[in-house]
Amino acid sequence: MRKVIPSELNVRTGVGRRVDATTWGVLVAISFCHMINDVMQSMLSAIYPLLRNEFDLNYTQIGIMTFAFQITASLLQPLIGMTTDRHPQPKSLPFGMGATFCGVLLLAFSAHYYFLLTGAMLIGIGSAVFHPESSRVARLASGGRFGTAQSLFQLGGNSGQSLGPLLAAFVVVPLGRPAVAWFAVAAALGASVLWRVGQWAEDRRKASVVHVDVAPVLPRPVVIRAIAVLAVLVFTKSIYTAAMSSYFTFFAIDKFGLETQGAQIMLFLFLIGMAGGVMLGGLIGDRIGPLTVIWVSILGMLPFTLALPHVGLQMTGVLVVVIGLILASAFPAIVVFAQELVPGRTGTIAGLFFGFSFGMGGIAAAALGMLADHVGIQTVFQICSVLPLLGLLTVFLPRRSAMAV
């Protein structure tokens, strides 16, 4: 027997029951902090053109910066998730935002490339602390609306990702790199909000802990196979997202001759599409099931990714919104589906999939940067356009009916 919070368990598994109403104030607060966290992350990639000119960086060095951020987050997140499943630590949330605060200041005032890498790694550490425990808090506050809660939580993140390039375009580019320091003010605000959220979660956790015996509802080999398939789907999503986040500005500049601000606005269109898609994914998933959402999301964007490298500027703007919308709807569904496969392991699953997403994104960013240096940025996007075909592996996931008791 071990301690498990009832509201962390899925109603459909029969392992636990929903005991609390949805706590919307906490969900909004944790989503807001997710927005702040991910503004910092997307701001990092959005100022790459500025850093490239100031430090005379090549695509490989840019890819290594993304790798430094994402590999730090990916290595730590599963470990933190497993630890907090045994010993939940919601009061640790503001300390993660503190690491982000320090990383942002380093990006603003560093005089050497290696200090930029350190700043990127500190932002990665902040994300590693934030995601597993805040995902647990979102599930704790969900009142059984797990898909909606996960989507609202991730909506904050995707909104932050979309705001980062916009803020970089209209604040950092005109005022210079030291203006990045203003983002540290937002990190300090996020830390104060997370302190209050952590206190609420700690009080709720102590009030609602029971002893239950938690076991997967499917045979272990089936669960392992399903988790492996979901990991491949996240791998596909992460590579394409890394291509867009790290290199789409360069693609737009190279193909259409845009200025830096114009290219960042094009990236903003993709990220705002992702913000809308992540919310729709959870809302629809609560009604029709996450498996259907996964099918539609991974394969549904294939015609649009194939067309993207071959269309004009205006149609590119339309396509990136559609691709972002469809692509982002998958992730909440994948996380919820995985949490149903392994009930009671909310932090482990969140840490694993957020961490795997970051890690694969970092590796992909570095690899795509080296590839772009050799074959050109437009060829990279033609190669990435076929990645959604891997969505056919969804056929190996267990049906929802098999996961009910």
56-105 tens-digit pLDDT: 888 788 888 877 887 787 777 777 777 877 777 777 889 889 999 999 99
11 pLDDT more than 50: no
Angle at 30 between CA 137 and CA 301, to 5 degrees: 95
What pLDDT, on the 0 to 100 scale, is given for residue 400?
57
**Mean per-residue pLDDT, 269-285:** 81
pLDDT at 353: 76
Percent of the chain residues topping a pLDDT of 70? 88
Judge contact between 139 and 7, C-beta under 8 A.
yes
- Least confidently predicted of 7-11, 50-54, 237-241: 7-11
Structure tokens at 368: 């795509």
Cβ atoms < 10 Å from Cβ of 358: 27
Structure tokens at 322: 């559609």
Please give the Cα distance from 81 to 249 (Å, whole number): 33
18: alpha, beta or left? (left if phi > 0; alpha if psi -120 to 50): beta
Mean pLDDT for the stretch of residues 219-241: 86
Residue 4, beta-bridge partner list: 210
The domain spans of the chain are 2-403
pLDDT value at 298 more than 90: no
**pLDDT of 213 higher than 50:** no
CA 139 to each of CA 40, 190, 282: distance values in angstroms, whole numbers, following the listed order: 24, 20, 13
Where residue 397 falls (left for φ over 0; alpha for ψ -120 to 50; beta otherwise) is beta
CA 124 – CA 361 distance, rounded (Å): 12
Average pLDDT, the chain: 81
Shortest CA distance to 218 belongs to which of 74, 86, 387, 341? 341
Residue 359 in contact with residue 72, Cβ under 8 Å? Answer: no
User: Among 7-21, 252-266, 303-317, which stretch is predicted with the lowest mean pLDDT?
Assistant: 7-21
pLDDT of residue 357 exceeding 60 = yes
* pLDDT (0 to 100) of residue 1: 41
Residue 19: its pLDDT value, please? 47
pLDDT band for 256, please (50, 70, 90 cuts).
very high
Report residue 307's pLDDT band, with 50, 70 and 90 as the boundaries: very high
2-403 folds as Growth Hormone; Chain: A; (1.20.1250)
Using H for helix, E for strand and C for coil, what is the string for the chain?
CEEECHHHCCHHHCCCCCCCCCCHHHHHHHHHHHHHHHHHHHHHHHCHHHHHHHHCCCHHHHHHHHHHHHHHHHHHHHHHHHHHHHCCCHHHHHHHHHHHHHHHHHHHHCCCHHHHHHHHHHHHHHHHHHHHHHHHHHHHCCCCCHHHHHHHHHHHHHHHHHHHHHHHHHHHHHHCHHHHHHHHHHHHHHHHHHHHHHHHHHHHHHHHCEEECCCCCCCHHHHHHHHHHHHHHHHHHHHHHHHHHHHHHHHHHHHHCCCHHHHHHHHHHHHHHHHHHHHHHHHHHHHHCHHHHHHHHHHHCHHHHHHHHHCCHHHHHHHHHHHHHHHHCHHHHHHHHHHHHCCCCHHHHHHHHHHHHHHHHHHHHHHHHHHHHHHCHHHHHHHHCCHHHHHHHHHHCCCHHHHCC
What is the distance between the alpha carbons of residues 174 and 102, in angstroms, rounded to a whole number?
23
pLDDT band at 208 (very low <50, low <70, confident <90, very high): low
Which pLDDT does position 234 carry in this prediction?
Answer: 82
When pLDDT is averaged across residues 232-255 and rounded to a whole number, the result is 87
Question: What does the alpha-carbon distance between residue 294 and residue 391 come to, in Å, rounded to a whole number?
Answer: 8
| pLDDT (0 to 100) of residue 207 | 67
Q: How many CA atoms lie within 13 A of 34 on its CB side?
A: 26
Q: How confident is the model at residue 252 (pLDDT cuts 50, 70, 90)?
A: very high
d(CA 332, CA 336): 6
Residues 141-197: pLDDT tens digits?
888 788 788 888 888 887 787 787 778 878 887 888 888 888 889 999 999 999 999
> Looking at residue 3, what is its pLDDT?
46
Q: Mean per-residue pLDDT for 231-253? A: 86
7/96 Cα distance (integer angstroms): 24
- Dihedral pair phi/psi, residue 109, rounded to 5°: -120, 5
**C-alpha angle 23-334-73 in degrees, rounded to nearest 5:** 85
- Token pair belonging to 376: 């050109």
